[in-house]
Structure 1
């Protein structure tokens, strides 16, 4: 049985994007197949990890004491003696390479924007999106294999107590409820505005409806802008308290319609909900249906997705096809998103990955990358 150390980096206690939950889901699915530990490095221990059922270790890492802190991480790794290191973000990969340990290292590119042409070398790459694969094929500097494994959602639990509490508090028993789970941040601002625009259009034709937006406030200015956009509309509900934001995916059954990106699309599809996906530079999100799947899949259902045009008339037609959209989303979960169907792929990668000694050019590129990172 292979021993794997999963490593993920965080910058604040509120660091909790989809890749944290992907790590937790993947490790849980592999629990009886491998031995593993989860190490969180960075400035703060992520709440997403602290609130999970999985035990995680934390080693503080500052740029000002980078090499001293890297030595602590190196000692931790040598004490655990893993067979494989598996990084879940680029900073974690940089840190692992900085230890100088000659262990097979896997890098999961969990969707997101391609933002660095100088990539710390890994011995295998796992990508959630074709966009990331195309980038790595162009810029990676070694012969390591790239694997496309978008699956990263397991069967989800429902927090019936919290669902019932919210339904009762906000009188949602007999309304059609649209739901967006999103941090209030500059990264997600446009997708929240698109969610509001979709709701206002839907509400115009179906007055007995409400929009619920659940998420922590990472940027107060974004939250202020959202409140100004909403005004005094009583049918739009903002839930930002930790009571609501903790494991928010367990509240998805609140919704009849879900607006989602990335991992959120896959979680919504487990429940067979009709889904709308935000786009780059658009007023409205688009229906997740057969016609739109290919371009959405390419970008890992990111809000950066392009290549689709959406008009109000298209959305009005989709409102009459919500049942079919829900059936389609569940089909996609079964075919592409369920982590259990990817377990054998992960085990095969762990079995076959080997440490590759970097060339002098690769090492120089890594030093340049590290200098830029530490500035």
Structure 2
């Protein structure tokens, strides 16, 4: 099939279910960046969000977005089918297992090909559904999935997370500085993330890095900006926060938090948050398993950290905490060395994760499929488990509200 971009009509389908996440994860921004760039290159695109919350990254975008709310429980699938079918897609691309369950049913009815993105995250032993094409952000994930028996007919494509340089918001940065009473001579160690169990380690390592820098004579402050996903984790990290540490949870700052990157000298980042910080030429660190401090990202360790998508699962052989801290101090104290280092890392990120060339790769993948590729009934049943797991609590919550109503 010879499909040019102006002939493509791509339905991007993604879940936003409160029992699973906050609607503010990096994969929403990844889906949006992809949709924006495919649209700029002539494809017709439409994002369909499924669940009980509307993802914050999609607010104000010029990409068409339709939200199918789970409030309409009895007619939920019918509403999804009507919305996606009305767009008349040539291709249906899901960004999580739950949305894939519904999207593949619609695609089957329309006889249109499906595509499924595995947007980073840990490898889990739970069921992963079939799609003829699976796109992964990390080599680690695709290697793991390629061993699944139900995915023997799948074509795997490694297309790392794509970013564009975030646009700073100077007035918002100034507001944050006033909010936390930041002095001009203070070095900011910034972590932008949801405040929950998965990111607990990186938050604590952010605190420790600022603490070790202070012990080394650097006037450093840790600043965490993020939505509270788990109250217990928030309470724990608040108790552990050291001298001068600021934890900011105000939605005014947590939404589009990448606009705040200019406030930082050092950013502790994972996945997209690391890449956006690198594009802003901040000094970038990323968490390491079992370590007290995050690792400074350098040209020497870049490829090793990229294998785990600069995530909480990062590991580095022969890591030296003291050498790592010493290099942070050296770069903070030498502006020329700082600029040289950050430019080098930015160039690596732009080459590996910049949007240039990604639209071509996606269009080539789409061009290879023109019709639906099915799977055994057991695969659909396995896929339904993810739907039941996360939509079940919504149904229980709704029934409790109904029972409690006068």
* Fold shared per TM-score above 0.5: yes
Q: Secondary structure at the match of 1:167?
A: helix
- Aligned residue number for residue 350 of structure 1: 366
Distance 1:372 1:315 in 2: 41
Within 2, Cα distance between the matches of 1:313 and 1:282? 12
Which sections of structure 2, spanning at least 5 residues, go unmatched? 1-5, 333-337, 390-406
CA-CA distance at 1:51 after TM superposition: 5.3
Is 177-186 or 320-329 further displaced after alignment? 320-329
The 5 A counterparts of 1:294-373 are 294-319=303-328, 320-321=330-331, 323=338, 324-359=340-375, 362-371=376-385, 373=387
CA distance in 2, matches of 1:337, 1:327: 15
Give SS of 2:222's match: strand
Q: How does 1:1-375 map to 2 (within 5 A)?
A: 1=6, 2-12=8-18, 14-32=22-40, 33-50=42-59, 52-61=61-70, 65=73, 68-99=75-106, 100-101=108-109, 102-139=111-148, 140-169=150-179, 170-230=181-241, 233=243, 235-319=244-328, 320-321=330-331, 323=338, 324-359=340-375, 362-371=376-385, 373-374=387-388
Mapped partners of 1:159, 1:208: distance in 2: 25
What is the SS of the residue equivalent to 2:147?
helix
Cα deviations by residue, 1:152-181 (Å, 9 ceiling, x for unpaired): 111211101111222344233222111110
Quickly say closer, same or farther: Cα 1:166–1:299, change in 2 above 3 A.
Answer: same
For each residue in 1:273-321, what CA deviation from the matched residue of structure 2 results, as whole angstroms up to 9, or x when unmatched?
2111012222211111133222311111110123445333122232214
Q: Retained in 2: the 8 A contact 1:177–1:255?
A: yes
Judge which range, 117-126 or 281-290, deviates more: 117-126
Distance of 2:236 and 2:220 partners within structure 1: 23
Root-mean-square deviation (CA, aligned residues, Å) is: 2.2
Task: Give the superposition deviation at 1:251.
Answer: 0.8
Q: TM-score scaled to structure 2, two decimals?
A: 0.85
* Number of equivalences: 369
For residue 403 of structure 2, what is the aligned residue in structure 1?
A: none
Q: Is the 8 A contact 1:183 1:218 kept in 2?
A: yes
In the alignment, is the contact (CA less than 8 A) between 1:154 and 1:340 conserved in 2? Answer: no
